[in-house]
């Protein structure tokens, strides 16, 4: 038996990276007072397959199935729609207040697996619901950047664009389509299909021949209203004030159709990361809450790929080790002293000490070698002589000094 294509196992030698990253995310969210939500990994088909959503993700890549009662279901391909469904269903939106939520979990897309991109993949994301203003846009961009930057990942930049409102996008879409129709035969096969369903997505094409054609295409910013341009400048001014590195990318559209106005992507320019260097991104959505049965309020959010974050951190040599793990190893000299060693281990554990104990019957020298390899600070050693005298040997594994300590004074010694 083998794992399904596009999935992976997190094994013991890798799991600490995931735990470290998830802890980092939870800490960042607590700092910014964003509340955690968890939604089902499958939803009713219509939560994702809405009439207004014609993105490749939804039309080509979702895992859809019928349950035993014949109801159409979809494994979530992204987190936002399910979170908004939950917020609306549970009536969490309060007038004149900003609802701040985040999530962390698995998503599913049937696409070609490649480095850092899988059919089952994990994301964390944030959604702010309830108001539209430049401060909120800048705030959520800063949170996304901070999660990445405080991990220690360098060479990170925020790519920005403004998609305008619904009318603006329609006018631009028509202009772009008029420009591209005479050149249709020169477009890639995917772009030919997008020309009919969603011309804006052609801007996001990674095919070099498509990009060459787009050099002379109409630019969206020429269609923005004065109000939209002023709003975008306000967001940029705030990012500059707080020293967030950014670049304007007029071809940035993101992969979902519900986005409008400000959109962004967090990218890392790291050797070995590949041309698809996005760690995540997001943007504002004006209509999604209402489409899912809620009030007519705006929202903004982002998602970051955990696999991508881990790869980026590894490429830059960032450690995922906790600074204070496994300070003390309790070692037993022989089988007779193992039970007493276990008793000491449990006592230290209950006192909140980071402690480890070897449950196997390894020889003392092997236990000590293991403790040295994992760079534990202290080893508490107990054998027959120590049991008889009600003492232990405490060895400083850094200085290699060793002292005899009464069993009742172990905590006092360690605290000192």
Q: What is the pLDDT of residues 329-376, one digit of tens each?
A: 999 998 889 989 999 999 998 888 888 888 888 899 999 998 998 889
State pLDDT tens for residues 289-333: 999 999 999 999 999 999 999 999 999 988 887 655 458 999 999
For the chain, the maximum distance between any two Cα atoms, rounded to a whole number of angstroms, is 94
C-alpha to C-alpha distance for 200 and 229, rounded to whole angstroms: 19
> With contact defined as beta carbons under 8 Å apart, do 271 and 241 qualify?
no
C-alpha to C-alpha distance for 104 and 123, rounded to whole angstroms: 6
Torsions phi, psi of 272, nearest 5?
90, -5
Q: What is the pTM of this model?
A: 0.83
CA dihedral 24, 299, 92, 145 (to 10 degrees): 10
Q: How far is the CA of 131 from the CAs of 28, 91, 136, 139, in angstroms? A: 22, 16, 8, 13
User: In what order do the strands lie in the sheet containing 99-108?
Assistant: 35-36, 99-108, 120-129, 299-305, 278-285, 260-268, 156-162, 246-248
* Per-residue pLDDT in tens (0 to 9) along the chain, 416 residues: 999 999 999 999 999 999 999 999 999 999 999 999 999 999 999 999 998 787 778 888 999 999 999 999 999 999 999 999 999 999 999 988 899 999 999 999 998 888 778 999 999 999 999 989 999 999 999 999 999 999 999 989 999 999 888 888 888 888 888 888 888 888 888 888 788 777 887 887 778 888 888 888 888 888 899 999 999 999 999 999 999 999 999 888 877 778 889 999 999 988 877 666 899 999 999 989 999 999 999 999 999 999 999 999 999 988 887 655 458 999 999 888 998 999 999 999 888 888 888 888 889 999 999 899 888 999 999 999 999 999 999 999 989 999 999 999 999 998 88
* Domains of the chain, each with CATH number or no CATH: 12-164+246-315 (3.30.930.10), 166-223 (no CATH), 328-415 (3.40.50.800)
C-alpha to C-alpha distance for 239 and 219, rounded to whole angstroms: 23
Question: What's the CA angle centered on 123, arms 120 and 129, to 5 degrees?
Answer: 135
């Amino acid at each position: 038996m083998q794992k399904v294509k596009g999935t992976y196992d997190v094994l013991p030698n890798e799991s600490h990276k995931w735990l470290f990253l998830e802890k980092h995310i939870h800490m960042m969210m607590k700092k910014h007072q964003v509340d955690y939500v968890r939604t089902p990994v499958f939803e009713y088909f219509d939560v994702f397959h809405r009439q207004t959503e014609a993105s490749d993700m939804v039309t080509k890549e979702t895992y859809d199935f019928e349950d035993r009662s014949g109801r159409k279901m979809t494994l979530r391909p992204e987190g936002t729609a399910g979170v908004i469904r939950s917020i609306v269903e549970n009536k969490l939106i309060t007038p004149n207040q900003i609802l701040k939520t985040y999530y962390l979990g698995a998503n599913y897309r049937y696409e070609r697996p490649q480095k850092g991109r899988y059919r089952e993949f994990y994301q964390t994301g944030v959604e702010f619901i309830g108001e539209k203003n430049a401060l909120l846009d800048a705030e959520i961009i800063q949170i996304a950047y901070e999660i990445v930057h405080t991990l220690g990942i360098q060479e990170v930049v925020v790519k920005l664009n403004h998609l305008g409102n619904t009318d603006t996008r329609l006018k631009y879409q028509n202009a772009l389509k008029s420009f591209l129709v005479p050149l249709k035969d020169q477009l890639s096969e995917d772009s030919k299909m997008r020309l009919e369903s969603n011309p804006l997505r052609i801007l996001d094409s990674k095919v070099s021949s498509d990009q060459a054609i787009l050099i002379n295409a109409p630019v969206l910013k020429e269609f923005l209203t004065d109000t939209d341009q002023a709003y975008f400048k306000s967001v940029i001014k705030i990012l500059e004030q707080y020293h967030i590195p950014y670049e304007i990318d007029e071809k940035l559209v993101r992969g979902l159709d519900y986005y409008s106005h400000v959109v962004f992507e967090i990218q890392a320019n790291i050797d070995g990361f590949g041309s698809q260097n996005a760690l995540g991104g997001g943007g504002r959505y004006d209509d999604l809450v209402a489409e899912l049965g809620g009030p007519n309020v705006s929202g903004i959010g982002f998602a970051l790929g955990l696999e991508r974050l881990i790869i980026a951190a590894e490429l830059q040599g960032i450690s995922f080790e906790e600074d204070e793990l496994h300070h003390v190893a309790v070692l037993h000299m022989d089988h007779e002293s193992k039970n007493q060693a276990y008793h000491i281990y449990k006592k230290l554990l209950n006192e909140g000490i980071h402690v480890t104990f070897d449950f196997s019957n390894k020889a003392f020298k092997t236990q000590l070698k293991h403790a040295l390899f994992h760079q534990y600070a202290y080893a508490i050693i107990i054998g027959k002589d120590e049991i008889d005298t009600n003492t232990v040997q405490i060895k400083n594994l850094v200085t290699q000094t060793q002292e005899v300590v009464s069993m009742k004074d172990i905590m006092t010694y360690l605290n000192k």
